[in-house]
Structures are given as C-alpha cells and as structure tokens.
Structure 1
Amino acid sequence: MKPRDWLLATGTLVFGYLVGQYVQSHFPSSLSPSTDTKTIQPKLTRKGVIRLIKVNGGSKGLDLSAYDLSGENLRNLDLSGAIFSTYQFENKIYRSADLASVNFTDSNLSRANLAATNLQNAGFWQANLYEASLQGVQAQNASFSQTDMRRATLFAARLEGASFWHTQLAGANLYAARIANAHITEIDIKDGLLQEDEQAYNKHFHQWYVHKLPNKYRVRNLQQRHQQAEEIYMNLKNAYISHGRYREASHAYLKERRMRRATYVLWRAKRYHGEVIARNPGFLRWRWLWFYPKYMWLWFFDWLTDLGSGYGERPLRTVWLALFVIFTFPWLYWLSGQIAFADNSPLQWIDYLIYSLGAFTTMDFARFVTTGWIAETIASLEALLGISILALLMFALGNRISRS
C-alpha cells in the first residue's frame, strides 16, 4: 500500500473516531440503551423482612431500598434504623423501596430512612416515626393518625389527601411539604416547629439524614428559618380552612404573623428584606436611611396588634386591654388633682373610675369638671384610646363571627 493510501486510511479512522465521540457526548440516547426504564425490584414479603432482620442481627442499618414491599402487612415490626432509601451523592442516583399500601400499624420506624419512597395509601396508625426521614416521599392518601412524628423531616414531602389525626409533630421539619389538601386534625405542635428553635434547627443539620449536605445549605436554611416557619404555618392555616377547622386555622394564622414579625427585628431585617437595596447599591443607597426606622415601626405596630387583639383572632385580649385602660386612668386623674365635682363636694376613688369610663366611651358627665390642662390632656388621650380599642374590638369580633 502506498504511503498516500496509509495517510488517507489513518485520517479516515481519526475523523470517524472524533465524530463518534462528539455524537456520543451530545446525543447519548442515540448510541446507548435507554436508562428510563424502571428497574424491576424483587418482591419481599413480611416473612422475608423478618428473616433479613434476623440475618442482619437487628433492623438498624438493614438496607431494604432494593425491594418491592408494596401491599405487605408489616404491622408491629421493629424496623428502627432500617434503610428504605439510598442516595449516591457522586452519581446522584436514588434507590428507594416501593412501600405503597404497606401496613405499618404499631411498627417502630424511629430513625428509619424512608426518603423518596412511595408511601401512597400506606398506613402508619400509632407507628413510631421519631426522627425518621420522610424527605420527598410520595405519601398521597397515607394515614399518619396517632403517629409519633416528633423531629421527623418531611421536607418536600407530597402529602395530598394524607390523614394527620392526633399526630405528634413537635419539632418536625415541614418546610416545602405539600399539606394544603391534607386532613389535619388536632395535631400536636404545641412545642413549636423545628424552625422556631435555632439551637434545635442547627442540631438538625448534624443528624444522620442531613449531615452530608454542604455547609452552605445549613447556613442558608438557618438564616431563613423564620421565613420557612411562616410558610409552614400559612400552609397549615390553608389546610385547616379547607376542612372547616377554623379554631386551628386561627392559631396557625397567629403563629404565621408572629413568624413574619420576627423578620422585622432590626438585626434580621437586612437579611430578610434588604435584597432590593443590596442588588442596587448605587441609586438606592439613600433608602438605607429609612430602612431600619421603617422595620422598627413595622415591628412595633405588629407587636401592638398582637398584644391588643391577637391579629384580630383574640377578641378577649381587646376586652382585657380596655379594662386595663379604664382602671389605670383613674390613678392619673387622682394624681393630677384637677378633677372635681361641680358643687365642690369631695371625690371618692369610685368617682375617678366613673369619670374614666365616661372619658373612655366619650361620654360627658355634667357633674364632673376639669380644673386644669393636665386633666384635659389625659381625658383626651383616654378618649382617643377608647375609640381605637372599641373599633379594634368590633373588628376582632366580626372576624371571629364571620369564620364561625
């Protein structure tokens, strides 16, 4: 073969190799088998699970992520620490068990890894899911009634149609969970959400199910924890309202507003509300002069609204506020010494109280006269407070009546 032919053949091979590499890198599906087909998982029965627990020497660390357990009855089994889902961070590959319609009644699943599993129509009646990971699960129409889910993570879980009746959720992470259409009744979150306790939330990121996350996610979530709590309470409120649970919705709304107020605190305001100014430091720099006074005023007004009426959800607070004003101002009138009877007869403390009640309701008693500007100023201030408090009371009562 002539040298020219050798060069031509070599050039053709090199060109073909380069074209092949380009096509494979840009159009891999055209040269390799499809990876979209779902891997067939071997079926595992209750007896098989019990056998694997015995072989493993217990349920802790037992990897069941490769099995199909759908429809099985796993009632009253100790599966604490079992692994139903694995995630390869390097290859970004999830492997999770199919747990659709599985009966986990009375089972111990504390600290179990159920992340990204299929839990549709599964039953967890009185199960123990303490510190379990249910991140990203498909749990539509599942039952979590009377389940211990304290400190469990339900981040980004799909819970449409799921039932939470007398479920313990104190310290649970419900951020980004889809609970708008869930059936939530008498859940126990009296100790607050995970995001409300900075120390507990920081500890949460060192737990076994999130400790591999990069540190930047921990810092970002810690800085945004009040906003996350506000969103969770808003979702809870909507879920309650959709099922006519107005008393629970009222409490969730109250907590939602308090979480929003926490973002107005001076040392947090810039973190939560300073994005626009931070992105435009030039022509908006002057706004920093008004930024902190604005959020200080917003926090104070929000605090007063909570104190006076519980954001319109606690009319009894407004009643107590009115009584406080009515019983406090008589002492101010007595100290001023500028309230007297028209006939100059001596005044008793009950007379100052009657005058205070008249000033609060803007009623004028002819038998009382003021003898100086101090008493007149105090009476005007009480009248202004009275008008405001009575208007606030009407608003709070109307709000509660319209909901009930």
Structure 2
Amino acid sequence: MAKCSECLYQDSSGANCTEPALSSGLCFWHDPDEDKNGDEIKEKLESYAKRGGMLRGISLKKANLAGIDLVNYNNKQGYDMTGVDLYRSNLRGAHLFNINLQHGSLMKADLRDANLNHANLTKTNLLGAKMDLCKCDSLCVGEKVLQEQLGSAAEKQQDKDAMADYYQQAEEVYRCLRKTAESEGLFTTAGIFLKKELTMRRYQMPKYSYKRAISKLVDLVCGYGEQPMRVVLTSLLIILSCAVVYFFTGIHFNGNVVSLDLSQSLGRNIVAFFECLYYSVVTFTTLGYGDFTPVGFSRIFAAIEAFSGSFIIALFVVVFVKKMTR
C-alpha cells in the first residue's frame, strides 16, 4: 500500500507539517479551502493541539471556536500559532492564555469574553476584531500594530492614499485596544493606546497643517493628557529659557538694570542670572511680587511667559487629576 504523502506546508523557520496531505497537497488544517465551520471543529482542534500537531500557519477562517481551550497546561510556553488565519472566526469566550499569534490574522474575529492574558499579538491583524470584555492583562501587540507599520512603509514610498488608509485603520485598532483595556481597569495600558490612537489621527492630517501642528504641540507638552511629567518639563524649559532672555535683555531692580555685564566679575554675573531666574519663576506662576520689573524687550517675553504659565499650570492640574482619579 502506498504511503500517504505529507502536507507540503513549510513555515519561515523551515519546519514542515507532518500531517497527511489532501489532494491540494496541504493537510486539513493548513488548507484554506477546507470547510471548518462545523460544530465539531473545536474538539478536533483541541485534540490536534494536545497531540503536538503543527499549529503554525493553519487556516481557520470563519471557524466556530467559541469557548475553545487552547491553553498549554503544565508548560511555560503557550501554543505557537504564528501566522494563523482566524479571519471572522468565532472565538467568543475562548481560553487563549499565553498563546503566540504573531504575524497572524484576527481580522473581524469575535473575541468577546475571551482570555488573551499574556498573549503575543505582535504584527497580528486586529482590524475589526470584537474585543468587548476581553481579558487582556499583559497583552503584547509590539511597539506598533500591523497597520501602523504598513502606514509607515507607505509614507516612505510617498503613497499618500495608502498611508492615510493604513493610519485610519491603525487608529481604529488602537481605539479598540484602548476600550478593551479600560473595560478591564488597565488604565495605564489604556493611556498608552489612547496616545497611539491620537497620534494615528494626527498622521492623517496634512503634514504642514495648523491642526497637525496643534496636535503635535499637545503631544509634546502633555502626551495627549497621559504624561503629567511632560507638563513639568515644559514648565521648567520655559522658565529657564525666559531667564536666559531676561539675563541678556535686562530687568529692573531698585532703579538698576540686572543683566549680563562683561565688565563685572563672573560671580556677579552668576548672581544676576539667578535673579533673572527668580523673576522668571515669579512671572511664570503669575505671582508678581513687584520687586523686579521688565524693561525693553523683556516686557514682550514677560507677557508671553505669564500667559503660558497660567495656561500650563491649569493644564497640569487637569492632567494630574485625570491620572489620579483613575
């Protein structure tokens, strides 16, 4: 009797599938044309995984896998399903703890109530995935989701239409991830996804537009409300910069001008700089003690600093309260 040929599937690492091949040359699991919509597919896949079958690159489009248990018990490493195609599959309530789904597709998959704790979704297509009440503690999606990487590549190739489309998709993916993290009480993680979501929105704006410039400024100053320390650093930068300006343009104190004077000693100039720094702090915080007053061009910078200070202090309060109330 002739020996049944093996599946022709070979992954990027060179590993081969040893399952019996069908007429297509691929096994049942790797053949994308095989129907996997049956109710028995869940039990078959669980059995296949437990006996050590090759899960990398298998095709499970539209498969009904609701409640499936794919946790690799008594093993530190979860099942390796790199490159798996789960397009429109039903994974509602699935147990996928510590699973590796890198380079795969969960496009429009139903992951509601699923357990994805510690799962690896790096470079996985998550567009349109339903993730309501999905457990996502320590979920790894990499520094950039797939659509953001594709958008960056399209931008380098100066394909503006593709770039805008991919960035819009990336925004949608990050929004989904943010809402999922918020529903699980993972507000720090949700904050990271919010920042990425708004960054993707900025990338869709015309490069030299007013709106994009404002969005970038908000990102730099407070990280879209998620990084209070940026507000503090911005405040320090403004105070120090204005102090340098006052040091060169001069301020009044008791009828004398305090500024850089090369005819004075180094020590006297250092004292003058710290007096300018003091005045900058007082102006930024709008305390206005009145002991120092601006002169000449210093008045313009003092007015700008006072306005910036009142705005940034209010911004810090808002951002800080937002973080603390979480």
TM-score normalised by structure 1 residue count: 0.64
Alignment of 1:4-403 (within 5 A): 55-58=4-7, 60=9, 82-83=29-30, 85-86=32-33, 96=37, 98-101=40-43, 102-103=45-46, 104=49, 108-125=54-71, 126-198=78-150, 223-266=164-207, 296-336=209-249, 338-342=250-254, 344=256, 348-372=272-296, 374-402=297-325
Alpha carbons of 1:171 and 1:359: their partners in 2 closer, same or farther (altered >3 Å)?
same
Alpha carbons of 1:200 and 1:356: their partners in 2 closer, same or farther (altered >3 Å)?
closer
Q: Check whether the contact 2:58–2:85 (CA below 8 A) recurs between aligned residues.
A: yes
- Which blocks of at least 5 consecutive residues in structure 1 are unaligned? 1-53, 66-78, 88-93, 203-218, 267-292
Residue 258 of structure 1 deviates from its aligned partner by 0.8
Alpha carbons of 1:112 and 1:220: their partners in 2 closer, same or farther (altered >3 Å)?
farther
How many residue pairs align between the two structures? 285
What secondary structure is seen at the aligned counterpart in 2 of 1:239? helix
Partners of 1:162 and 1:389 lie apart in 2 by 42
Residue 224 of structure 1 deviates from its aligned partner by 1.2
What secondary structure is seen at the aligned counterpart in 2 of 1:100? helix
CA RMSD of aligned residues (A): 2.9
* Larger helix share, 1 or 2: 1
Q: Check whether the contact 2:21–2:28 (CA below 8 A) recurs between aligned residues.
A: no
Residue 222 of structure 1 deviates from its aligned partner by 6.1
Q: Could you list the per-position Cα deviations for residues 17-73 of structure 1 after superposition, in whole angstroms to 9, with x for gaps in the alignment?
A: xxxxxxxxxxxxxxxxxxxxxxxxxxxxxxxxxxxxx834257375899xxxxxxxx
Sequence identity percentage: 23
Q: Check whether the contact 2:4–2:20 (CA below 8 A) recurs between aligned residues.
A: no
Where does residue 75 of structure 2 map in the other structure?
none
Alpha carbons of 1:322 and 1:80: their partners in 2 closer, same or farther (altered >3 Å)?
farther
Q: Could you list the per-position Cα deviations for residues 66-111 of structure 1 after superposition, in whole angstroms to 9, with x for gaps in the alignment?
A: xxxxxxxxxxxxx999426417xxxxxx554543254336764111
Q: Could you list the per-position Cα deviations for residues 176-222 of structure 1 after superposition, in whole angstroms to 9, with x for gaps in the alignment?
A: 111122111111123311001127988xxxxxxxxxxxxxxxx9876
Residue 365 of structure 1 deviates from its aligned partner by 3.1
Q: Could you list the per-position Cα deviations for residues 291-316 of structure 1 after superposition, in whole angstroms to 9, with x for gaps in the alignment?
A: xx8xx111111111111111111111
- Which blocks of at least 5 consecutive residues in structure 2 are unaligned? 10-16, 72-77, 155-159, 259-267
TM-score normalised by structure 2 residue count: 0.79
What secondary structure is seen at the aligned counterpart in 1 of 2:116? strand
Q: Check whether the contact 1:81–1:110 (CA below 8 A) recurs between aligned residues.
A: no
Higher relative contact order (CA 8 A, sep 6+): 2
Residue 138 of structure 1 deviates from its aligned partner by 0.9
Q: Check whether the contact 2:181–2:187 (CA below 8 A) recurs between aligned residues.
A: yes
